[in-house]
Structure 1
Amino acid sequence: MKPAPFEYHRPASLAETFDLLDRYGDDGRLLAGGQSLVPALNLRLAAPRAVIDINRVPDLDGIRLSPEGLVIGALARQEALERSPLVREHAPLIADAVPHVGHAAIRARGTVGGSLALADPAAELPACAVALEATIRVGRRGGERDIAADDFFRGIYTTALAPGEVVIALRVPRPEPGWRWGFQELARRHGDFALAGLAAGARVQGGALAETRLCFFGVGTRPVRARRAEGALAGRRADEATLAAAGRALDSDLDPPGDVHGSPALRRHLARVLLTRVVRGLVDARP
């Protein structure tokens, strides 16, 4: 199939982008990497009146370090995250997660902002943003605001973006010393959407888990912070009894859906497997 007819615009500034969003409203769609929008257009699952290509808008690209932490521009390509020494040093969780995103050709075009704005509950980058307690900077005519990642993702393909707002950057705070990070996902084939995945961090003191962050994806309508399981791990060593208690607590954190790829019971089981693997890896990892 081919797309329904649409108007094509290529703004050269954020101000021009906001003008176009004001003009078209819900009938305008932003084009960044196009890895989700273009297939939807071709299948006529999306038929906007206008496509607004923001790839020429300055200041939306790039990866840099600020006094507060790492700033990743919305137009940064996912493959750039794989290659960036800044990401590897200051957000190793993202560096470990990105190779799991689709395939190389997808990562060459797909953008950070596109992944965040799409809010696919099985996607890797949204879960990393929540686990890192990152903020998402968004802009519209009249100013910008920061939204905590855990508040940004509202449900399946649903975010806290207001009409006329654009993702500007992902902002990752500098972690306190001693944090370790781990990422794993389980899929039928590499490049498939995860049946279950876990982006996690831990601060280990004296062999015990002083603090943990567990964000699961592929097991809900959005990235799920497993706070009951985190509480079961707090202050304890990652022995069999502690991991079993965290697994039981995880049942209260998750309400996974079922589909043709896996039942809720399967996804619960996989989430427990990931919890055990990743937490053990965090304890054994070098800080």
Structure 2
Amino acid sequence: MIPTQFAYVAPTSVEEALAALAEHGDEAKILAGGQSLLPVLRMRLNAPEVVIDIGKIDSLREIRDEGDSISIGAMATYAQILGDAGIRDSLSLLHKAITEVADPQIRHRGTLGGALVHADPAGDCGAPTLALEADLVIQGPGGERTVAATDFFEDLFTTAVGEDEILTAVRFRKHDGWGSHYEKFVRVAHQWPIVSVAAAVKVDGGTISEARIGLVNMGSTALRATATEQALVGQQATEDGVRAACDLAAQGTNPPSDLNGDAAYRSHLATVLTRRAVLKAAGSS
């Protein structure tokens, strides 16, 4: 289908983009990489009067090493992130998850910031962002504010970014010395995950000292498997050592039921995939 007619604005600074948002209000939509918005427009599921393309704001594409953390601009593409040695070494979980996003064409156009603001609970980026306990930088008329990943995802396709605000960066503390793994279960290649698990694990002398687990498609938002995280601490990094903790992975979740599987099936998958992800992460630490 062809989208309905809309005006097109391409600001070159965050300030210009915010001014355009203020002028057009809820009749405007932000265009980042376009991999989520453009299909929605083509199917006429949304018909904004104005599309504000932030792709010409160069500052939003920067990836900066800030010492103990790495700041990724909201418009940094997946391909940029995958090509960054610092992210590969210090944020290996994010790197592994993004490797699993769709196909090379989409990874060269899609952006981390766009995916996080779109907040699809079946998206690959939310779980590692939660597991790595990122901070998200949001700018609006009142200035800049920072929101923890745990407070960012509010509901289905809903985040802490207001209608008059823009996500400008995602800041990750480096996880040097942590093992990581992203375990994704699909029926066919490049499908949205039926369930995925993002695991970051720190092992000292064969014993798990810290664990962070993010879940994909187990509720209306990306989720942390906090019961499993807590139960893993102090356990031996072996299959027998982690089994009981990983069996708690679905606790507190509300997985959907659809043609790919019902809620009970996803709950079972979550425990199996969590065990696999934790063991592989522990082995890579």
The residue type paired with residue 230 of structure 2 is G
Distance 1:229 1:184 in 2: 16
**Runs of 4+ off more than 4 Å:** none
Look up the SS of the partner of 1:80 in the other structure: helix
Deviation at 1:251, TM superposition (A): 3.6
- Give, in angstroms, the shift of residue 112 of structure 1: 1.2
Q: Give 2:33's aligned residue.
A: 33
Question: Does the 8 A contact of 1:232 with 1:242 survive in 2?
Answer: no
- Structure 1 segment 12-161 matched on structure 2, within 5 A: 12-161=12-161
Shift of 1:241: 4.5
**Cα offsets for 1:141-174 (capped at 9, x unmatched):** 2311111111101121010112211010110012
Residues 117 and 251 (structure 1), Cα distance of their counterparts in 2 relative to 1, 3 Å cut: closer
Q: Would the aligned equivalents of 2:227 and 2:248 in 1 still touch at CA under 8 Å? A: yes
C-alpha displacement at 1:240, in angstroms?
4.5
5+ residue gaps, structure 1, are none
Shift of 1:262: 1.1
Aligned-residue RMSD, C-alpha: 1.4
Give the Cα separation in 2 of the matches to 1:115 and 1:91: 18
Query: Structure 1 counterpart of 2:281, which letter?
Result: L
Q: Render the CA deviation track for 1:170-212: whole Å, top value 9, x for unaligned.
A: 100123x532111111011121000110111111112111111
Identity, % of aligned pairs?
36
Output the CA distance in 2 between the equivalents of 1:244 and 1:101.
28
Equivalenced residues, count:
285
User: What TM-score, normalized to structure 1?
Assistant: 0.95
Tell me which moved more, 82-91 or 114-123.
Answer: 82-91
Secondary structure of 1:265's aligned partner: helix
Assess, with a 3 A threshold, how the Cα gap between structure 1 residues 251 and 126 changes in structure 2: closer, same or farther: closer
Give, in whole Å, the separation in 1 of the partners of 2:66 and 2:42.
Answer: 40
Q: Is the contact made by 2:239 and 2:279 (CA closer than 8 Å) also made in structure 1?
A: no
**2:110 and 2:239 mapped to 1: Cα distance?**
40
CA drift of 1:260 comes to 1.5
Query: What is the CA–CA distance in structure 2 between the aligned matches of 1:13 and 1:49, rounded to whole Å?
Result: 21
Q: Structure 1 residues 9, 272: closer, same or farther in 2, change over 3 A?
A: same
Amino acid across the alignment from 1:81: I
